[in-house]
Structure 1
Amino acid sequence: MTSLLRHVQAAQADGRIPGLQVALHRADRPLWTAAVGTSGTGRPLDDDTRFRIGSVTKTLTAVLVLQARDDGLLDLDDPLDRHLDVPAHGELTVRRLLSHTSGLQREPWGDVWDTLVTPETDALLAELAKAERVLPAGRRFHYSNLGLALLGQAVARLRGGTWAEVLHDRLLRPLRLHATTVDPPEQAAVGYLVDAYSDTARPEPRFDMRAAGPAAQLWSTASDMARWAAFLADPAALDPAGRVLAAATLDEMRWPVTPSDETVWTRAFGLGLILFQAGPRIVHVGHDGAMPGFLASVYGRRGGPGTPGAMGVAVLGSSGTADVTNELSHALLSAAVESDPADIVPWRPGTPVPDAYRSVLGPWFAEGFQHVFSWHGGTLQARFPESPADRPPAVFAPLPDRPDVLRTVSGRETGELLRLTRDAHGTVVRMHWATYRFTRAQETFDGVS
């Protein structure tokens, strides 16, 4: 890990960050941590020093929203006013607010970043009538702290508590994120503005986000946040029973809803999550955060050769202007895989193909193109023979009461049906996938070979 430490040391020195705390989580290695600099207090900077994580808070609020959806308390296409009594903008949907496509203005009404005075819940809701819809809903990405604050208040109301109480009971405690708190503890670092033209570092004030807390209030450690990033990337590794959130729901949250730039499609937003394209079929999922005196970058890694399970990194810094903080998280994820890739798992023979699907295996043709059906990992799969090896296949699962009708559960044509037609001997001689006819030989659309 010497090379990773040098990355951290260089970032701290080049970025002139008073205190920098980093952690790397992966399922196949012990937790790796580093701390460089000073806490700004009488305490040494160590793994237990707490930093403000700003908008990384939004990812936790987003998971609370999807928990509520999975529990039947709301639907993502519900209007906001179904769950909050608001004087305006009540028709905006939960989905639009989560994905930053509601068009709602960025901040609560008033100059909160000038005064550092944020509203209590009643005022936040009452003043919503003064907030603008700066874009039509669904027009494009437009980041909104106000939108996530409203969702946090809606979840709190649905659960019958405050946002802080719901967060603790439903996320922090079950995932053992014990160092993550709403209020700054005694181990809190000092956040600074580092002067652009001198080595002076001036302390920034602390303030409470109050009703806007669901968007940016939390304090944490890099160790806690690396674990959280690993959960966002690979929930089954940290929550195998799905007690916090089903793995399929995290898949839904990670699906890109809208790019954040119309011409450079390397960064997109899902449902409360940032998706950063780090290479061919490699995605870093998480969020960055900024508060006066602090920057944070928390991302998990999915895909790519050598990527281990449950891989997440957190970079927390006590300078509000050091952009290298946000760059370092992605650099560390890539460097960790390059220098220490996951062990290669030996191939082992699998279970036999069920008799019912043995005659499906091999090449089939549809629209003149060949598709290859195979059986791997206990499932029927299909792919184009020329597809890159890292492109996921389509995967099918039979309907419980109709073994000759299968649902596409992932990959191409997800959700569509595959219907099997057999001859008198039980051999599959024709298939229909998403209603397109599949035959063993190339055929024109009228059925003539």
Structure 2
Amino acid sequence: MTEVNRQFERLVRQAQAESRIPAVSAALHRADRPLWTCTVGGTGNDAPLGPGTAFRIGSVTKTFTAVLVLQCRDDGLLDLDDPVGAHLDVPAHGELTVRRLLSHTSGVQREPYGDVWDTLHSPELDEFLADLARAERVLPPARRFHYSNLGAALLGQAVARLRGGTWAEVLADRVLGPLGLADTTPQPPAGAATGFLVDAYSDHARPEPNTDLGAVGPAAQLWSTASDMARWAAFLADPAAVDPAGAVLRSTTLDEMRWPLTVTDETLWSAGFGLGLILLPQRDASGAAERVLHVGHDGAMPGFLASVYGRRGGSGTPGAMGAAVLGSSGTGVAVNELAHQILAASAREDPADIVPWTPGEPAPEPYRGLLGRWWGEGFEYVFSWRDGALRARGAADPAGKPPAVFTPLPDRPDVLRTVSGREVGELLRLTRDDRGEVVGLHWATYRFTRRQETFDRFDFRTG
């Protein structure tokens, strides 16, 4: 065992002991290292605890449902701005859009109609759909973040209807099978951990009931292992490394899912929500913001907590980095931080190897003359050719800030589209003099010149 792995194991053991969790299973996935796993405690039944032990993962299930929805979008079966009623026959709330339901900004109430956590009665599909007429819209659509299991369940049932199967069948066929997540199942397998409520004032642990969520399953039904979930977290963060052929989802679609659509608190912007994904910007030891994002989801069901996150950005972050921590106590809150601690410690203590720089091809002749420094809106920018593409960054940008990247239009080489970074989607237009030299730029219609200029009327040829 390496010293770094000993540190990880100590983190897990400390969390298990201090938070009094009967069983904890943790795993770390990275493209450049063997899978790391650790289990502490016991299952609470006759089965031994090990890396193959399944735990309830609760709302981590929503990330799978979100991927199924985006698959449907990419296949042309729906649009994110479609009303859900266009794809599912519902008696009420059919006007709520797919995008709003994915980002928890639809305003629909949190749970299905009734006191479901008193009765533990989960409706089957017909009852679930009929009861929508009695569910409230507690906020106007797009007003603010409001978490909703009901909304996630609607999306899962819409996917099932579009694909012509049950939600569980579609999930197994289109996600679990292609990614090799064989230990992720809708029902607890033999030897699964027992979930507990640990008494606040004694060491007694009482088992919680297992509940089948019926039609609400797309929100929180799944069981899994830490190893499967670490791989899933790595996929959410770096799909090109985990699924290079795009068999499950295109990398650009995951980019879209990770874009924040709302914050979860109006004052403390420490967490956001994309399309079905929780987004957690990270801070360094001093509290300063880093250009690092943890993306994934937490889960909670009676007797269980789960935390499943991948890491993006940062100089020490390797490819396909994901961590999962699963616990068999509904109050073992250390689970919620442990995945983030493992990710941060791994990037800090065992950073990714530094890839040597090697010389590349020169910039294409038509673009060589525009490389170097330009001024726009009074600020200085540097245009360069890197990794086969034209790039631009502000001269004062911090080192970790991604550059703008451009690609020429197929039939207009002097007009380029911004494909990522600042002003993404906007055009960059080159102006040449009579000799064909680049003498000016317009980016998103703003003028860029070789010297700092005012906004006065300007002729590139005369300055």
Cα displacement string for residues 91-128 of structure 1 (whole angstroms, at most 9, x for unaligned residues): 10000000000000000011111111110011111110
Question: 2:155 aligns to what SS in structure 1?
Answer: helix
Asked whether 1:386 is paired with 2:396, we answer yes
CA–CA distance in structure 2, aligned partners of residues 374 and 88 of structure 1: 54
CA shift for structure 1 position 444? 2.1
CA–CA distance in structure 2, aligned partners of residues 200 and 333 of structure 1: 32
Question: 1:138 aligns to what SS in structure 2?
Answer: coil
Letter in 1 for 2:82: D
CA–CA distance in structure 2, aligned partners of residues 182 and 97 of structure 1: 22
Asked whether 1:179 is paired with 2:183, we answer yes
Q: 58, 62, 72: which is aligned to 1:58? A: 62
- For 1:420, the equivalent position in structure 2 comes to 430
Q: 337, 340, 355: which is aligned to 1:330? A: 340
- For 1:94, the equivalent position in structure 2 comes to 98
Matches within 5 A, 1:118-267: 118-267=122-271
Letter in 2 for 1:420: L
- For 2:286, the equivalent position in structure 1 comes to none
CA shift for structure 1 position 42? 1.0
CA shift for structure 1 position 252? 0.4
CA–CA distance in structure 1, aligned partners of residues 328 and 236 of structure 2: 24
- For 1:343, the equivalent position in structure 2 comes to 353
Question: 1:87 aligns to what SS in structure 2?
Answer: coil
Asked whether 1:282 is paired with 2:295, we answer no
| Aligned length, in residue pairs | 449
- For 1:116, the equivalent position in structure 2 comes to 120
Identical residues among aligned pairs (%): 72
TM-score (norm 1): 0.99
Question: 1:101 aligns to what SS in structure 2?
Answer: coil
CA shift for structure 1 position 446? 2.3
- For 2:78, the equivalent position in structure 1 comes to 74
CA–CA distance in structure 2, aligned partners of residues 397 and 242 of structure 1: 22
Matches within 5 A, 1:303-318: 303-318=313-328
Question: 2:46 aligns to what SS in structure 1?
Answer: coil
CA shift for structure 1 position 187? 2.1
Question: 1:285 aligns to what SS in structure 2?
Answer: strand
Q: Does the Cα contact within 8 Å between 1:48 and 1:187 map onto a contact in 2? A: no
Cα displacement string for residues 34-69 of structure 1 (whole angstroms, at most 9, x for unaligned residues): 000001111110011100000000000000000000
CA–CA distance in structure 2, aligned partners of residues 17 and 34 of structure 1: 14
Letter in 2 for 1:30: P
CA shift for structure 1 position 424? 2.0
Q: 360, 381, 388: which is aligned to 1:371? A: 381
List alignment gaps of at least 5 residues for structure 1: none
Letter in 1 for 2:32: D
RMSD of aligned alpha carbons? 0.8
Q: Does the Cα contact within 8 Å between 2:21 and 2:329 map onto a contact in 1? A: yes
Q: Does the Cα contact within 8 Å between 1:404 and 1:420 map onto a contact in 2? A: yes
Q: 364, 388, 397: which is aligned to 2:407? A: 397
Q: Does the Cα contact within 8 Å between 2:58 and 2:219 map onto a contact in 1? A: yes
Asked whether 1:294 is paired with 2:304, we answer yes
Q: Does the Cα contact within 8 Å between 2:48 and 2:191 map onto a contact in 1? A: no
Cα displacement string for residues 322-367 of structure 1 (whole angstroms, at most 9, x for unaligned residues): 1111011111111111111111111111121100110110111112
Letter in 2 for 1:337: A
Question: 1:124 aligns to what SS in structure 2?
Answer: helix
CA–CA distance in structure 2, aligned partners of residues 298 and 41 of structure 1: 25
Question: 1:27 aligns to what SS in structure 2?
Answer: coil
CA–CA distance in structure 1, aligned partners of residues 316 and 378 of structure 2: 36
CA shift for structure 1 position 443? 2.2
CA–CA distance in structure 1, aligned partners of residues 136 and 209 of structure 2: 28
CA–CA distance in structure 1, aligned partners of residues 200 and 454 of structure 2: 69
- For 2:367, the equivalent position in structure 1 comes to 357
Bigger CA drift: 225-234 or 364-373?
364-373
Letter in 2 for 1:386: A
CA shift for structure 1 position 247? 0.4
Question: 2:260 aligns to what SS in structure 1?
Answer: coil
Cα displacement string for residues 147-176 of structure 1 (whole angstroms, at most 9, x for unaligned residues): 000000000000010000000000000000
CA–CA distance in structure 2, aligned partners of residues 6 and 305 of structure 1: 25
List alignment gaps of at least 5 residues for structure 2: 284-289
CA–CA distance in structure 2, aligned partners of residues 153 and 317 of structure 1: 28
CA shift for structure 1 position 437? 1.2
- For 1:434, the equivalent position in structure 2 comes to 444
Question: 1:174 aligns to what SS in structure 2?
Answer: helix
Cα displacement string for residues 244-288 of structure 1 (whole angstroms, at most 9, x for unaligned residues): 100000000000111101111111110000001112111100000
Q: Does the Cα contact within 8 Å between 2:83 and 2:94 map onto a contact in 1? A: yes
Cα displacement string for residues 343-402 of structure 1 (whole angstroms, at most 9, x for unaligned residues): 111111112110011011011111222111001111100111111000001000111111
CA shift for structure 1 position 7? 0.1
Q: Does the Cα contact within 8 Å between 1:21 and 1:47 map onto a contact in 2? A: yes
Question: 2:179 aligns to what SS in structure 1?
Answer: coil
Letter in 1 for 2:121: V
Cα displacement string for residues 166-195 of structure 1 (whole angstroms, at most 9, x for unaligned residues): 000000000000000001110211000000
